[in-house]
Amino acid sequence: MAESRTDAAPVRVNGREMPWREGLTVAELVATQTQDPGALACALNGRFVARAERAATAVQPGDQLTLFGAIVGG
């Protein structure tokens, strides 16, 4: 398992600081939430991340992840 760098800036998930570590992905951060990951939409640093891209999208120190309930309809 990769170690966290002690000098790395934390990441923010909906404004809450979380520790960063090498190899951290959007999918892992979404999985830490109490809501069903399939019911959440997310944006990393303001850019939408599709569900299919979450596992392959790396999170860097200082990144900001915004999670919100997906809105459908028109």
Please state which of the ranges 7-11, 34-38, 48-52, 61-65 shows the lowest mean pLDDT. Answer: 34-38
Exposure string for 20-48, b = 16+ CB within 10 A, e = fewer = bbeebbbbebbeeeeeeeeeebbebeeee
Give the mean pLDDT of the chain.
Answer: 88
The fraction of the chain above a pLDDT of 70, given in percent, is: 86
Sheet of 64-69, strands arranged across? 16-18, 11-13, 64-69, 40-44, 47-49
Q: Residue 26 and residue 59: Cα distance in Å, rounded?
A: 6
Which residue carries 């570590």 as its tokens? 21
Residue 26 has pLDDT above 50, yes or no: yes
Residue 1 has pLDDT above 60, yes or no: no
